[in-house]
A and B are shown apart, each in its own frame.
Chain A
Amino acid sequence: MSGFRQAQGDLRLESVTKAFGDFKAVDDLSLTVPRGSFFALLGPSGCGKTTTLRMVAGLEQPTSGRILIGDTDLTGSRPYERPVNTVFQSYALFPHLTIRDNVAFGPKRRGHKDAATLADEALVLVQLPHLAGRKPTQLSGGQQQRVAVARALVNRPEVLLLDEPLGALDLKLRRQMQVELKRIQTEVGLTFIHVTHDQEEAMTMADTVAVMNHGRIEQMGAPARLYDLPSTAFVANFVGQSNLGVGTISGTDGDFLVADVGGSRVKIPRSRSRVQQGPVMFGVRPEKVRIHRDRPTGVGSDMQATVRDVSFTGVATQYLVTVASGATWSVYEQNLDVEPIDLHPGDQVWLSWDPGHAFGVPAEGAEVPDGPVLADVTITEPHVGAAPIQDAP
């Protein structure tokens, strides 16, 4: 155990860069994760989130920068010297050991006399004490996942890293495990860092979500905050869906900026726009937009559109409409009316929304993931498949 670094406190990454040849997987990343919080690193594949995690674990060394827990510098130390444990994506259970021995592996290495007892306690925490004598191959995916969590948790690490731990599970089991992991985190009160490409998973579980793209953090904050007020076009589309359009700010109207987007005048609250003049990317969430046959009166912003597709999902109906600029917007209407509005592709409609919900993000360098337009927002699969709804620049 020589070299083991006992450390307590917040996890801090200071200007961490990781380069593989010319490619910067992680680019000058600085980050503080408060002790005891559930933190999610969210991003598409290849955004550097797993590399960040592996650097915290010690499985990769940063090209430059420092990694600290509290005031203890962990940079350069080996994985086995860090008070950090990982739940691997593929679980990486030891196939030659029983479940109990798998979980007892860490405590044994640290010289605990009662490693087996600790292991059994950890298995109770993940509700699998009855499987202690089995081998990993005799367990289902969900059970293996929970053993992997127990094997990491039993060491009571200062920071627990979860590398897409739910990726291999089916949807129903994943939902269940999300709740389970959250329960365990609340129960043990450790710092959890959860890497995922699933925005819904990140939002459901984490106190703080950091959205990563191209090795940098695009935006960080509470899930509701990220959703309500994205600060870049990437976040606007990666965290949920957005109807976006590039335009130019042409003036002001009280607390609002007025922008010309594809021939329509739209309003953005000053406080909700990252740019105050010049080119802007206007955005509004699909569920904030209402759809009408006739032009409504007395609502903030409106726009004419043509229905392209209607899909009834039970609780709501999703409309895809083409707006004046030629872009496709998405609209969610909850099915509240006794006599639902009966729309068909080709119908002329009016869209309206409260301008207070609109947001503005920088238009230049705006990057939106490509993908099929016809996608449901409830999809939790790799989010690159979610609908980017955007004005052609």
Chain B
Amino acid sequence: MSAVVHGPGAPAAPAGPDTATRAKFLPYLLLLPGALWLLIFFVIPLVQLFTVSLQSQFPGYPGYYYRDVNFKNYWAALTEFAPHFGRSLLFAGIATFFAFALSYPLAYAMAFKAGRWRGLMMICIIAPFFTSFILRTIAWRQILADEGPVAKVLNTLHVLPGGHITETWMAVVAGLTYNFLPFMVLPIYASLERVDPRVIEAGGDLYANGFTTFRTVTLPMSMPGVLAGTLLTFIPAAGDYVNAELLGSDRSTKMVGNVIESQFFKVPGGYPTAAALSFTLMALILAMVFVYVRRFGTDELV
């Protein structure tokens, strides 16, 4: 402690090359823990996964592999599980669409109309996170069950093909939509909340009616939130397997996530296939996100 106390006449701590060096290295020092974490728990496992995806099986010894550069795994995974890839992207896409359709009005109401109810609405959106999402997904089985209110009403109206919701793609999409809804609402709300109401008034003042103002002012200004929300919904939804597992059927609604899970844990000798599937999914999503962000993203928005 005494070292930092100087007398009034004592020279100040030398502020020469020492300080400059420290200032130069400080950002790297701050980055270090995160970088290490990423290296150990992301980069190394990723490389490891990639090597696994190229392994070959020892003939005659199921479950044993040797290091190889076997791209056939990718071909096999793609041909055999193409429908699952299709379903993953389709279900995630539909769920993202519905989540957007539900979230935008909700976020809009919260940002502009809720007044003192805003806090309560925010709590209602976040509160479900306090319960395990497995439990919440299982609860959807009850809600959508054949004897449940939803199926009963729809069946009474004769608008439900097949008579069931559970064990169909509808249940899976409903579950995905529900589970990722907050990830859509919150970014959209955050960007709408930053829209100055005066700017919307300015739209009206400049001869744009309510709808035109929304189309030309409010919606474009909330695009960063829409972009973030759709990505935060679509990406995890495409890789999700819990909803298809708990709400879907054994065959017709399985997604890539389910295949990867079963290849890893249930099928003997499935490791390289599972790893190849994981990598393919990752590449597909990366490519789609890249195109999407290039098309709609703009960082010039405030």
- Chain A interface residues (CB < 8 Å from chain B): 1, 4, 57-59, 78-80, 84-86, 88-90, 92-96, 105-106, 109-110, 135, 137, 151-152, 155
Given A1-B207, A96-B301, A106-B207 in contact, is the A86-B212 Cβ separation under 8 Å?
Answer: no
A94-B205 in contact (CB<8A): no
Q: Of B198, B207, B221, B301, which is within 8 A of A109 by CB?
A: B207
A92 x B216 contact (CB < 8 A): no
A-B contact pairs, 24 of them (CB 8 A): A79-B204, A79-B205, A80-B205, A80-B208, A80-B209, A85-B205, A89-B198, A92-B198, A92-B199, A93-B202, A94-B221, A95-B221, A95-B301, A96-B220, A96-B223, A96-B302, A105-B203, A106-B207, A109-B207, A109-B212, A110-B207, A135-B300, A151-B206, A152-B205
Chain B interface mostly helix, strand, loop or mixed?
helix
CB-CB under 8 A for A57 and B205, given A95-B221, A96-B301? yes
Q: Which of A96, A135, A152 contacts B221 (CB 8 A)?
A: A96
Which of B199, B207, B223, B300 is close to A94, meaning CB atoms less than 8 Å apart? B199
Secondary structure at the A interface, as helix, strand, loop or mixed, is loop
Among all A-B residue pairs, the 4 with the closest Cβ atoms? A109-B207, A92-B198, A106-B206, A79-B204
Chain B contacts of A57 at CB under 8 A? Answer: 205
Closest to B302 in A: A95
Q: Which residues of chain B have C-beta atoms less than 8 A from A79's C-beta?
A: 201, 204-205
B148-199 interface (Cβ within 8 A of A): 196, 198-199
Tell me the smallest distance from the CB of A174 to a CB of chain B, in Å: 20
Query: Which residues of chain B are near A135, meaning CB under 8 Å?
Result: 300
Smallest CB-CB separation from B204: which chain A residue?
A79
Give Cα A63–Cα B281 distance, bound, in whole angstroms: 61
Least CB distance, B213 to chain A, in whole angstroms: 8
Cα distance A105–B204 when bound, in Å?
11
Chain B residues close to A by CB (< 8 Å): 196, 198-199, 201-209, 212, 216-217, 220-221, 223, 300-302
CA distance A92 to B221 in the complex (A): 13
Cα of A109 to Cα of B207 in the assembled complex, Å: 6
Q: Report how far A151 CA is from B199 CA in the complex, Å.
A: 13
Q: In the complex, what distance in Å separates the CA atom of A80 from the CA atom of B301? A: 26
Q: Known A90-B196, A92-B199, A94-B199; judge A105-B220 contact (CB<8 A).
A: no
Known A4-B207, A135-B300; contact A88-B212, beta-carbon cutoff 8 A:
no
Given A1-B207, A86-B202, A86-B205, is A105 in contact with B301 using a C-beta cutoff of 8 Å?
A: no
Complex alpha-carbon distance, A378 and B271, angstroms: 83
Query: In the complex, given contacts A4-B207, A80-B206, what are 7 additional A-B residue pairs having Cβ atoms less than 8 angstroms apart?
Result: A59-B201, A78-B209, A92-B198, A106-B207, A109-B207, A109-B208, A137-B302
Complex contact B198–A90 (CB within 8 A): yes
* CA gap between A139 and B150 in the complex, in Å: 55
Contacts of B208 in A (CB 8 A): 80, 105, 109
Specify which of A4, A80, A90, A94 is in contact with B204 (CB 8 Å cutoff): A80
B219 nearest in chain A by CB position: A96
Q: Verify A105–B199 contact, CB threshold 8 A.
A: no
Task: Give the complex CA separation of A95 and B191 in angstroms.
Answer: 13
A85-B221 contact in complex given A90-B196, A96-B301, A105-B216, C-beta closer than 8 Å: no
Closest to B298 in A: A96
Closest to A154 in B: B206
Q: Is the CB of B206 within 8 A of A105?
A: yes
User: Measured between alpha carbons, how far is A80 from B212 in the docked complex, in Å?
Assistant: 11
User: Which residue on chain B has the smallest CB distance to residue A106?
Assistant: B206
Query: Judging by beta carbons under 8 Å apart, are A95 and B199 in contact?
Result: yes
Q: How far, in Å, is A136 (CB) from chain B's closest CB?
A: 9
Give Cα A114–Cα B300 distance, bound, in whole angstroms. 26
Residue of B nearest to A138 (CB): B300
Closest chain A CB from B37 CB (angstroms): 35
Closest to B199 in A: A92
Partner of B206 from the list A59, A85, A90, A95 (CB cut-off 8 Å) is A85
Contact B204 A92 (CB under 8 A): no
Q: Please name the residue on chain B nearest to A4 by beta carbon.
A: B207
Chain B residues in 8 Å Cβ range of A93: 199, 202
Nearest CB in chain A: distance from B210 CB, A: 8
Contacts of B300 in A (CB 8 A): 96, 135
Given contacts A96-B221, A109-B212, A137-B302, contact A88 B202 (CB under 8 A): yes
